[in-house]
Structure 1
Amino acid sequence: MGLQLGVALGYWDAGPPPGVADLVAEAERLGYDSIWAAEAYGSDALTPLAWLGAGTTRVRLGTSIAQMAARTPAATAMAAMTLDHLSGGRFVLGLGASGPQVTEGWYGQPYPRPLARTREYVQIVRTLVARGRSEFTGEHFTLPVPGGTGLGKPLRSTLHPLRADLPIVLAAEGPRNVALAAEIADGWLAMFYSPYDDALYRAALAEGFAREGARRSAEDFEVFCRVNVVIDDDVEAAADRVRPYLALYIGGMGARGANFHYEVFARMGFEAECAGIQEHYLAGRRDEAAAAVTTTMVERVALVGPRAKIAEELTVWRESLLTTMTVSADVSQLAAIAELVHG
């Protein structure tokens, strides 16, 4: 099948971004496989997919990600089944733990032990989607809840799922999380994946696939990753479009010493650069933080520059772990990207 294309819609800033419906319509017309909506602490990931999905017939609709702290496992199962029905079986449930700042500060939920919490969460969602009873006793979740009135009872979904095994994919950046995705999920939502530095990820996936009871193998496991693609004859100008995005995540998405995105680039060998970016960002010097993102850092995780340069670099991406490249791009560049990727 080769490398598939998706569109990363992200989450909204101060308001709904203009032109998204046209972007999605053009992506479907060009044969893109999927669209992905995100959430942080503003717009949610599910509502835009329901709205935009109504105007499509083929593209898959994925959350990248639905944050686990935002909804109980039961609420997530309900939303997933509902959207899967509405879209005719095109929904992909992308889940992630987010980070402690958002989980504890925005949702008021505990963050410790995210891997164990994820394992329980996914197990409950799968059970409820398959119309199993709401009975579970774990370290992080218990159904029915103990205490209270004592009147809670195990229930089955009144809604019959369109697909009892609708796909669940997990966001992961560290090797332990990636191994967990390979063990219990149908795919991995990578972020800041670099095909030039992926030995750690290949080993982590292999470890997960080898675990007893692993759900899938390397042959039927999907790997999605957002990749910024900017076609421009001026490489530096193209990289300038990506630098603020990387600076935000390396410098501002997480506290000092607790930023998973920072750690990804540090593992690539950019520890000194990351420290400078974070220092600038946390001090409020966002322009300086962006300027401190080197072009080499951009080129490890993005495709920037003239068409010929991108075409050459795509060879490495086609040989990578990715099955779907979800691009963040203007509607005017969707056709050019599709031509470069698919020929």
Structure 2
Amino acid sequence: MKLGLQLGYWGAQPPANAHELVTAAEKEGFDAVFAAESWGSDAFTPLAWWGSSTEQVRLGTSVVQISARTPTSCAMHALTLDHLSGGRHILGLGVSGPQVVEGWYGQPFSKPLARTREYVSVIRDVLARDTPVTNPGPHFPLPYTGPGATGLGKPLKPITHPLRADIPIWLGAEGPKNIALTAEIADGWLAIYYSPRLAPMYNEWLDEGFARPGARRTRDDFDIAATCQVVVTDDRAATIAGMKPVTALYVGGMGTPELNFHAQVYRRMGYGDVVDEVTELFRSGRKDEAAEAIPDEMITETMIVGDLGEVREGVRRWEDAGVTMLLVSCRDAEHVKQLAAAVLH
């Protein structure tokens, strides 16, 4: 099992101790450090800034939103960071949701699977640098010939030669069709709210993608990086209780009542009634009650909490389910060291 440090996206201000966390992660043998974005900080710049003081740890995005940049622009970011880091970049991509895509980026959210497939294809063509890049569309046509076009656009290939044509592309995916697509066209799956109990269901979706003609990977060389809070504690009950407000936010407050991808994941786990109750409470302003409505097992399904022995047993369970990396958040350097001792050493 590998560990990835999830720095996430910024709140109102940049995190004060990110450099300390990144330095500790490299020292303690973490495989990768990841940054994210929502509608504030971007994911690439923090990796370039904090990653410049590292030599071995990989630098990944988890995730960058495909509506934030054209695929050629995203490829430029990726090849630049890959050069600066000496070939340590992992490009993690995700579609986000309609509130962000249409409300922040001013782009249509429809056909997310088709957009993802086309987006990844263009990026791979840019990184291959075999010929000038063209794409018939319909989502990212190159050259552009639609309304307002001058007719002067010409196919191009990057001036800068990519350090690697095969920069790993991992996709954030939650639903069955998206996970199958990930297995077909990507090098890894960024899983959120992963549950080892449901591994047979995930494997069925993954196997569908692996079996498609032209699939890029097989299960043997495909990464599954799962977001998982790992907490070593002797007070398991209090720790679980402290995690419920955040889960209530994502289950009850993200997206819209009609379309919340995180809530759909928990419905597939069998918590449909809980999701309905939490959503109603959260959206009526009763956030404390929403957190209290979440049962303990809904937390422990997707996180590893307990004393050292329980944590190590949990890590083995996740590894047996097919997970190759745990994406963890850490408070400080001591927390990084603690998790490395529990999981890696």
Q: TM-score under structure 1 normalisation?
A: 0.97
- Which aligned pairs between 1:240-251 and structure 2 lie closer than 5 A? 240-251=241-252
Cα distance between partner residues in 2 of 1:12 and 1:94: 17
Aligned residue for 2:139? 140
Q: Which runs of 5+ in 2 are unaligned?
A: none
Give 4+ residue runs of structure 1 displaced > 3 Å after superposition. Answer: none
Contact 2:225 2:325 in 1 (8 A): yes
Partner deviation per Cα, 1:36-91 (whole Å, 9 max, x = no partner)? 10111111111110111101110000000000000000110000000000000000
Q: Partner of 1:10: helix, strand, or coil?
A: coil
Q: Deviations over 1:143-169 (max 9, x none)?
A: 111141111111111010000111111
Structure 1 residue 237: deviation in Å? 1.4
* Aligned-partner residue type, residue 321 of structure 1: G
Give me the whole-angstrom Cα distance separating, in 1, the residues matched to 2:312 and 2:80.
40
Match of 1:339 among 315, 318, 341: 341
Q: What is the CA-CA distance between 1:309 and the residue it aligns to?
A: 2.2
Once the two structures are overlaid, the 10-residue window that deviates more, 96-105 or 303-312, is 303-312
In the other structure, the counterpart of 1:89 is 87
1:201 corresponds in structure 2 to: 202
Partner Cα separation in structure 1 for residue 108 and residue 262 of structure 2: 20
Instruction: Report the CA distance between 1:113 and its aligned residue.
Output: 0.8
Q: Which residue of 1 aligns with 2:232?
A: 231
| 1:318 alignment partner in structure 2 | 319
For residue 334 of structure 1, what is the amino acid of its counterpart?
V
**Residue 48 of structure 2 corresponds to residue 50 of structure 1:** yes
TM-align CA RMSD: 1.2
Instruction: Check 1:225–1:69 CA distance in 2 against 1; reply closer, same or farther (3 A cut).
Output: same
Superposed CA deviations along residues 242-288 of structure 1, whole A, max 9, x for unmatched, are 22221221112211121111011111111111111111222233222
Residue pair 1:10, 1:38 contacting (<8 A) in 2 also: yes
Aligned partners of 2:245 and 2:291 also within 8 Å: yes
Measured after TM superposition, the shift of residue 310 of structure 1 is 1.7
Partner letter of residue 54 of structure 1?
Answer: S
TM-score, normalised to structure 2, is 0.96
Corresponding residue for residue 331 of structure 2: 330
Match of 1:167 in 2: 168
1:159-308 superposed matches below 5 A: 159-308=160-309
State the AA in 1 paired with 2:46: P
Give the letter aligned to residue 7 of structure 1.
L
| Residues 67-82 of structure 1 mapped to structure 2, 5 A cutoff | 67-82=65-80
Q: For residue 19 of structure 1, what is the aligned residue in structure 2?
A: 17
Moved more, 124-133 or 83-92: 124-133
Identity of aligned residues (%): 50
The alignment partner of 1:142 has SS state of: coil
Does the 8 Å contact 2:231/2:311 carry over to 1?
no
Distance across 2 between alignment mates of 1:342 and 1:153? 50
- Match of 2:171, SS state, is strand
Which residue in 1 is equivalent to 2:99?
101
Matched AA of 2:188: G
Equivalent residues of 2:278, 2:291 under 8 A apart: yes
Q: Distance in 2 between matches of 1:112 and 1:127?
A: 24
Q: Separation in 1 of the partners of 2:216 and 2:342? A: 33
Q: Which residue of 2 aligns with 1:60?
A: 58
Residue pair 1:9, 1:36 contacting (<8 A) in 2 also: yes
Whether contact under 8 Å (1:5, 1:324) holds in the other structure is yes
Contact 1:230 1:329 in 2 (8 A): no
Per the TM alignment, residue 133 of structure 1 is displaced from its structure 2 partner at its CA by 1.5
- Specify the alignment match of 2:2 in structure 1: 4
Does the 8 Å CA contact 2:228/2:302 hold for their aligned counterparts? Answer: yes
**Residue in structure 2 matching 1:41, options 16, 39, 42:** 39
1:302-323 deviation line (CA, Å, top 9, x unaligned): 0123223222222211212211
Q: Distance in 2 between matches of 1:102 and 1:286?
A: 23
Q: SS state of the match for residue 144, structure 2?
A: coil
